[in-house]
Chains A and B, each alone.
Chain A
Amino acid sequence: MRVTAAVLLAVVFTVVFTSIQPYMKYDNFWVYIWDPGLVGLTAWRTWMFINISLTMLINAFTSLVVESTLPPILWLLDPKLFAHLALAEAAVEAFIAAVHFYPIPLAYIIATFPPEQLLLFWPSIRWMTFSYAAASCVWSIYFLLFQILAVGAIVSGILFVLKINIKYLFSSFIFSLSSFGLAALTENVNVGTPLTSFFLTSNIIFQQLFFGGVTGALTSFLMSPLFFSALACYLYLEVGLLLVYISEITSPATERGEKVANQLKTIDELAAASNIMELGENVSLSKEASDFLKRLVEMKIFSKPEAVKIEVLHDLRRLKAYVEEVFLKIPNSRSTLSARDAAPRIRPLIKSSLTGMLLRVGGVIALSFICFTSLFVLQQIGAPLPVVESIEVSQPEVVLVLLLPIVFSFSMAATIIRTITRSRRKERGEGEVA
């Protein structure tokens, strides 16, 4: 089962992460987002952006401080003091900019603009540089998220195969599908055409049904790459939940047995140490024993504190004697305490689980196919011509026409059965009382 889950996990990852064909436009060429170098690039750009932001902030703060602390006499000495200060700030910023990454090199700035004009154009250069740094940083992080999601999905998937815990199952599933959500946010990421084809629209299936009959249409449906991809993802969840079920049914017996064995060991340890502890001496206890003793002491919180521990130790000795008596007098008491025999047999469990899973999967596939034949069904039930020939019927959203009724039918059927069963039980109960 674990091997099957691992294989399905690999298929899901392959389907999802290879179907995303993202390209990142950078300086007129495309970069593949699975490139591991993206991590370093993102880190560098993030650092640059922070650097630029801090530089601008510090400069603005410095100029504010300088202007506010300049002695007034300097304004008398140099009427163009403000302009000269601004020039000095720009020069400093340009110098610092040259040390870091700016798209426009310092030499170019100095060569292109005379000092008087530098002051005029510097603000737009400055903000252009800042916005460029911000944009490239955000884009890098955006593309890096795909890698993060992929890593998250792989790690969760591996943890699920190892630990069979439902939260890892769901998290790996969600991480995988989130890539599609992320790709849909921009136009820079393309998702593979097989997943976006109109192949499974209702009118195409309708044509299949018309020409090839139900068998033909069903075969086309089942053989489509879209169906295989979706089935792989669904089967991953189905097999995963089955593994979780088997684990939840079989592991409690093992865990319970271990827990009871630990409890008995703790009681033996405490009973043996109780004589010494009653004299007030310290005894080194295991963590389980200390926690167990603490729990029993806290139960007697309203008794006088110094007497509580002694009382609890007496209780533990009596408990040990009682447990030994129970094991002697009541047959199979050891196995009932650990519920060893309550664990289900593995072979019938797996056999019935696999049979049930196949039936469920078959039912889901059949019902999914029916949802995609909405147009055919509408025609068969004699829906009005304006409905059958409308444009909306050719849209993919038409699957909802049958999906919603099917979902509600199942729920209603379950509710009706439950109501009938309960009323019959109530009648039987009242009849017995009478």
Chain B
Amino acid sequence: MLTARGGIAIVTGIFVLVFGFSTANYFLVLLGVMLTMASVVSMPYFTLSANFEGVEVTRTLDKEKVFAEEFVHVTVKVTNKSRMRIDRLEVEDGYPEVFTLVLGENKISTRLDPGDEIKFSYILQCRKRGVHRIGPIKLVMKDRMGMVFEEQEIPSYTEILVYPSYKDVRKLEALGAKRVLSRLFGVHRTRQKGIGVEFFGLRDYFPMDDFRRIDWKATARTGDLIVREFESERNIKVMLLLDCSISMGGGLPDNTKLDFAIRAAVMLAKVALERKDEVGLAAFSDKVYQYVPPKPGKDYFYKILEALAFVEPAGGTHMKESVEWVIKRSPRRMLYVLISDLEGDVNDIVEAVKLIRAHRNHLLVLSPFGPWFEVYPDALSPVDRALAEAISEELLEFRRKVSDELARMDVKVIDVGPDDFLPAIVSQYLNAKRRGIALR
């Protein structure tokens, strides 16, 4: 096929030729003939030599599983296995739109003699969780003059699994290492040895507390007697119930209710597994789409991450059926953490909760409140803000009704917005654990 350059050359040749005839200028006639011939003379040879089968392109990644917002290094190797020289080869490696090219280039223009091999690489940032495919590879061969070209797309893909973002866990670990969360969340490292139990947190001194447990540094800082509290050796089983119905997809891109729920699930799973609890996961909407039975072990965290990577909002909410399904397959006396926007049928929600309680399980509900995820109030005009507030009121009213129903069953509902700092949610889990509920 002719390139733009080739088209211009042939049109110029014809124009010069015709102009030469009309003005009886035979220099232009001869030049026009030469230009026209030059545009087409190499076409058959080029088409014969444009052998895409002789070009081998392979792609390697430095890792095939990566956290969201992390980076991956892609190397592409191009080899000319044919006996023909390729004068001009352009290789472009495709990547998903949700990835960002941060270093290098994903394309190259080069010349390959027979047997030659070249390599180029680039670094991508994976911005969205899920299974993504890097590819395809587009090859364009041109002749030396750039007048004709052939192109082909090689459907060569490399799958990469992107886990949910690890940034919240990273933040929590960083804050814990800085001892900032010591009084609030118990994520405090101590050099105390020999007691045989894990340090949990600090609290005010109660009469009859062991004097050896007094933390003198904290006491000197606050002026009140403060003791160190140690965690019980007994661990619990936690089941994360993640609502992935279509309503959970509401919210701003990259910060929907589901994104938030997944971040909360990642945080809870990490903290719980670090504390040797058993953690499982069930993602559901009209049925259970992902189920990971509760097990202990730090390595199990990646199993949960893999399940979370595949979660997408779809379907209506059939909470009771899904919970029934999970309960049949899960042990009793667990701590269920339900992360749902509670925008389904009230009766369905209540029945599901009753089912959980009936099997001697405990339940904690984290509910992303829809209007808080939809838009920033600052971005609205006064009229839109009033409308949004009216809708929020209506939803709040509905939410209150659901919360009241659940409160009667001794189930606490915690409303959360996109800016709620996740460690606050983790503290709910740690409180529940401290009270020794859902023991193994």
Task: Please measure, in the bound complex, the distance between the C-alpha atom of A353 and the C-alpha atom of B104, giving whole angstroms.
Answer: 29
Does B40 contact A410, Cβ atoms closer than 8 Å?
yes
Task: Please measure, in the bound complex, the distance between the C-alpha atom of A42 and the C-alpha atom of B145, giving whole angstroms.
Answer: 42
Which residue of the partner chain, among A344, A368, A396, A410, contacts B43 with CB atoms under 8 Å? A410
Which of B119-127, B274-282, B337-345 is the contact stretch?
Answer: B119-127
Does B113 contact A348, Cβ atoms closer than 8 Å?
yes
Residue of B nearest to A181 (CB): B19
Residue of A nearest to B116 (CB): A344
Does A360 contact B42, Cβ atoms closer than 8 Å?
yes
Q: Give B134-190 interface residues, CB cut-off 8 Å to A.
A: 144-146, 148, 150, 167
Which residue of the partner chain, among B29, B88, B120, B145, contacts A396 with CB atoms under 8 Å? B29
Which of B37, B70, B73 is the most central at the interface, judged by chain A CB atoms within 10 Å of its CB? B37
Does B121 contact A336, Cβ atoms closer than 8 Å?
yes
B410 lies within 8 A of chain A by Cβ: no
Which residue of the partner chain, among A237, A256, A299, A407, contacts B36 with CB atoms under 8 Å? A407
Answer whether A303 and B41 are a contact pair too, CB < 8 Å, given A170-B8, A348-B113: no
Taking CB atoms, residues of chain B closer than 8 Å to A227 are: 30
Answer whether A339 and B40 are a contact pair too, CB < 8 Å, given A242-B144, A245-B88: no
Task: Please measure, in the bound complex, the distance between the C-alpha atom of A297 and the C-alpha atom of B27, giving whole angstroms.
Answer: 59
Which residue of the partner chain, among A253, A302, A396, contacts B254 with CB atoms under 8 Å? A302
Does B23 contact A184, Cβ atoms closer than 8 Å?
yes
Taking CB atoms, residues of chain A closer than 8 Å to B146 are: 166, 241, 244-245, 248
B71 lies within 8 A of chain A by Cβ: yes
Q: Which DSSP category, helix, strand, loop or mixed, fits chain A's interface?
A: helix
Task: Please measure, in the bound complex, the distance between the C-alpha atom of A305 and the C-alpha atom of B176, giving whole angstroms.
Answer: 27
A177 lies within 8 A of chain B by Cβ: yes
B255 lies within 8 A of chain A by Cβ: yes
Which of B41, B85, B109, B118 is the most central at the interface, judged by chain A CB atoms within 10 Å of its CB? B41
Task: Please measure, in the bound complex, the distance between the C-alpha atom of A365 and the C-alpha atom of B33, giving whole angstroms.
Answer: 10
Does B37 contact A248, Cβ atoms closer than 8 Å?
no
Which of B45-53, B225-233, B262-270, B303-311 is the contact stretch?
Answer: B45-53
A66 lies within 8 A of chain B by Cβ: no
Task: Please measure, in the bound complex, the distance between the C-alpha atom of A253 and the C-alpha atom of B119, giving whole angstroms.
Answer: 12
What would 28 A/B residue contacts be, using CB atoms closer than 8 Å? A195-B27, A196-B24, A197-B26, A234-B38, A241-B144, A242-B144, A245-B87, A245-B88, A252-B108, A267-B103, A296-B100, A299-B127, A302-B252, A304-B376, A318-B71, A319-B125, A322-B70, A337-B121, A339-B105, A342-B118, A344-B111, A348-B113, A356-B144, A364-B37, A396-B29, A403-B33, A407-B40, A414-B47
* Pairs A-B, 10 closest by C-beta atoms: A195-B27, A336-B121, A414-B43, A342-B118, A339-B120, A230-B30, A184-B23, A410-B40, A413-B44, A344-B111
Task: Using A199-B26, A336-B119, A406-B37 as known contacts, list a sample of 5 further A-B pairs with CB atoms less than 8 Å apart, ordered by residue number in A.
Answer: A191-B25, A200-B29, A344-B112, A360-B38, A365-B34
